[in-house]
Structure 1
Amino acid sequence: MSDAAGDRATPAAGGVLWRQDADQVLVAVVHRPRYEDWTLPKGKLHPGEHPLIAATREVQEETGAQVEVGRRLSSAEYRFGADAVKRVSYWAMRYRGGEHVAGDEVDQLRWATVAEATQQLSYPVDRGVLADFARLPSATRTLLLLRHARAGKRSQFCGDDRLRPLDKAGRRQAREAVPVLAAFNPRRVLAADRVRCEQSLQPLADHLGLRVLSVPALSDEAYADDPDAGLAEVRHLSQQPGTTVICSQGETIPALLEQLGAPPGGPYPARKGSLWALSVAERGVIAADYYPQLSG
């Protein structure tokens, strides 16, 4: 498919919804009576909607499931209609609860093994996304590394730089980041001991009913002085069950990614307000997804 066609593609998003059943992983496939097909849950983005939020919304609407977002999967691009193109972004999503209710758009949901679902799916592009899901472990822990939001210029702040707060744009970034960060279902919220780092996560902590805990070892200055201590802290947090989110700074985050051996192997950008989502298995970091911005 040509780049020109891709540039005109209608954006959509969806997920591979999965759950553990004894010793096997089951994934959800849905039936659409309008098309008489079996597919992965997905749908078009609303105007200004972040793709990840669209993906969780569409999966919930079509399956009734509450989910925990994991790693980003391969996207699918295909033609529909006479000459229209749709590009669908996908994520792995762990099932947390909820029940499917049959409707006009989706009248059946089936839980199946990956092999069974591969046979059931109607389209090669869906089977390709499912194969990408299956190539890595599904039961991973998630470590989110957030760079603090905008906080003005250091040269224009009088006083101890540790106390420099977010500016107006940064406070808006922090608020707008909440839905994306919350989709990963964080259990722990931590920040380097800088006001701008703590403020970047306070809206999320308020939303989740959690406290922002301090990790002094992960400020730029502390990490430069003792990188082993900072790395040990992150390795410990990455072994905890569920999702941990840490807010740090622009020199520490790329250094951590390098030390953790995060794919694809660098260089690792870390613009203000951006996010790295790391999927951690027993053998270490197996996937690293970069989100340059957390609003639509």
Structure 2
Amino acid sequence: MSKTVEAAGAILIRIRSGKQLPISVSSGDVLSDEDFHALSDCVEVCLVHRPKYDDWSWPKGKQEQNESLFRTAVREVGEETGTPASLGPFLTTLEYPLNEEGGRKRKGVSGSTTKRVSYWMATPLDALQEQQRHVAFGPVHEADISEINDVRWTSISEARHMLTHSTDRTVLDACVTRLRESALDAISFTIVRHGKAEPRKSWIGTDAVRPLTPLGAAASFALSRELACFAPARIVSSSWTRCADTVLPYALQSGIPLERNDDFTEDAYKTHHQTVLDALESCIQTALQEKRNTLLCTHRPLFEGIFENLRGMCLGTSLAKRLPKISPFMQTAHALNLSVVNSAHGPIIIDIQKVAPIVY
């Protein structure tokens, strides 16, 4: 019987000390070879050495019980490199027989067991960002020296030569493609549907104060663990109770103010449709200008207009198709994470990822 072991990791990338990103990186256009060469001279990636296999590879590890692959990737990067990080665009997934881990045949492991590793692009957090997301994400413990005994920051070209396995160079190629899409200058913009609320028919009171159910509150709390993987620095919500309470756990855990906005309520959408879309555009533009990962929580009825608006921002039609078209668009207490870059033509979405809470 075949079995798949899930794992996750990331290419951790940063700007070299004393360097600045070229202006062309912020253009939102796919970089030319010349512009990419200028970019690659300014950045470095992080490799780890595993003494067990005597190889250089990307930080990664197996998924733990009750853990999403987002959390696995962030946790493993933190454990193996000592650097807290937030996830950016998805890169690729690799699969190989588990008994060939490290390029060597392993005894006692069935050849029918496959290891599947999902990779993201990731960037280091500064001290304030790490402090803000620490409670929601939880502690990260340093890897034992028997697992990781060296960590190196190198250029992209040096990494290509240092990597032991050809499959890791495939991951690097995926990262290069993302860098050509200006991904290093991207911000994370996460759109959340509020948690399950008390039924309208049984609620006595105004719709604006209709609260979450206990299950909805539990899912909202669990969602905060996933949101921490993207290290939001700004939290915006519809002013109505069920939306604000969905992202309140992360606001309380991080100390980031919760901004209640009347423009993202159901009533606003019914009476002033364009006002909602203008508020969304303003929110995204502010996130790009201030380089702040942003979290927005709103209601199901708004998603039809919001997603239609966002489709026009997508890098390509295949990416635009990943925005749901049919109600309810996404489940309660679920989210879509968008990687957005700026351009002369306005914001461009280069990646979309589904985010779900794990309640156990």
Task: Output the TM-score relative to the length of structure 1.
Answer: 0.90
What SS does structure 1 have at the residue aligned with 2:211? coil
In the alignment, which residue of structure 2 is the partner of 1:175? 221
Which deviates further from its counterpart, 244-253 or 218-227? Answer: 218-227
What SS does structure 2 have at the residue aligned with 1:154? coil
> Once the 2 structures are TM-superposed, how far is the Cα of residue 266 of structure 1 from its aligned partner?
4.3
Deviations 1:146-165 (A, max 9, x none): 11011132222122111110
After TM superposition, list the pairs within 5 Å mapping 1:22-37 onto structure 2.
22=19, 23=21, 24-37=42-55
In the alignment, which residue of structure 1 is the partner of 2:72? 54
Q: Residue 87 of structure 1 aligns to which amino acid in structure 2? A: R
Report the Cα distance in structure 1 between the residues aligned to 2:304 and 2:53, rounded to whole angstroms: 46
What SS does structure 2 have at the residue aligned with 1:280? strand
Report the Cα distance in structure 2 between the residues aligned to 1:11 and 1:157, rounded to whole angstroms: 43
- 1:103 equivalent in alignment to 2:145: yes
Select which of 41, 56, 66 maps to 2:59: 41
Which deviates further from its counterpart, 72-81 or 273-282? Answer: 72-81
Deviations 1:205-250 (A, max 9, x none): 0001122111221223322433322222222222321211010111
Deviations 1:258-289 (A, max 9, x none): 21224232451321111111111113111111
Deviations 1:34-72 (A, max 9, x none): 101111101111111121111111111100001122222
> Once the 2 structures are TM-superposed, how far is the Cα of residue 182 of structure 1 from its aligned partner?
1.9
Report the Cα distance in structure 1 between the residues aligned to 2:6 and 2:144, rounded to whole angstroms: 25
The number of residue pairs the alignment matches comes to 290
In the alignment, which residue of structure 2 is the partner of 1:249? 299
Select which of 279, 283, 290 maps to 1:233: 279
Please identify the structure whose Cα radius of gyration is greater. Answer: 2
* Structure holding more helix per residue: 2
Q: Residue 264 of structure 1 aligns to which amino acid in structure 2? A: A
What SS does structure 2 have at the residue aligned with 1:73? strand
> Once the 2 structures are TM-superposed, how far is the Cα of residue 97 of structure 1 from its aligned partner?
5.3
In the alignment, which residue of structure 2 is the partner of 1:70? 88
Unmatched runs of 5 consecutive residues or more in structure 2: 22-41, 100-109, 128-141
Contact 2:189 2:294 in 1 (8 A): yes
> Once the 2 structures are TM-superposed, how far is the Cα of residue 119 of structure 1 from its aligned partner?
2.7
Report the Cα distance in structure 2 between the residues aligned to 1:151 and 1:140, rounded to whole angstroms: 33
Contact 2:60 2:73 in 1 (8 A): yes
Select which of 8, 11, 15 maps to 1:16: 11
In the alignment, which residue of structure 2 is the partner of 1:79? 97
Unmatched runs of 5 consecutive residues or more in structure 1: none
- RMSD of aligned residue pairs (Cα, Å): 2.1
- 1:277 equivalent in alignment to 2:319: no
Q: Residue 250 of structure 1 aligns to which amino acid in structure 2? A: R
What SS does structure 1 have at the residue aligned with 2:217? helix
Deviations 1:164-223 (A, max 9, x none): 100000110111112211221211111112110000011100001122111221223322
Which deviates further from its counterpart, 69-78 or 43-52? Answer: 69-78
Contact 2:185 2:341 in 1 (8 A): yes
Percent identity, aligned pairs only, is 27
Residues 258 and 113 of structure 1: CA distance in aligned 2, closer, same or farther (over 3 Å): farther
Contact 1:65 1:97 in 2 (8 A): no
- 1:287 equivalent in alignment to 2:318: no
The list of structure 1 runs, each at least 4 consecutive aligned residues, that deviate by more than 4 angstroms after superposition, is: none
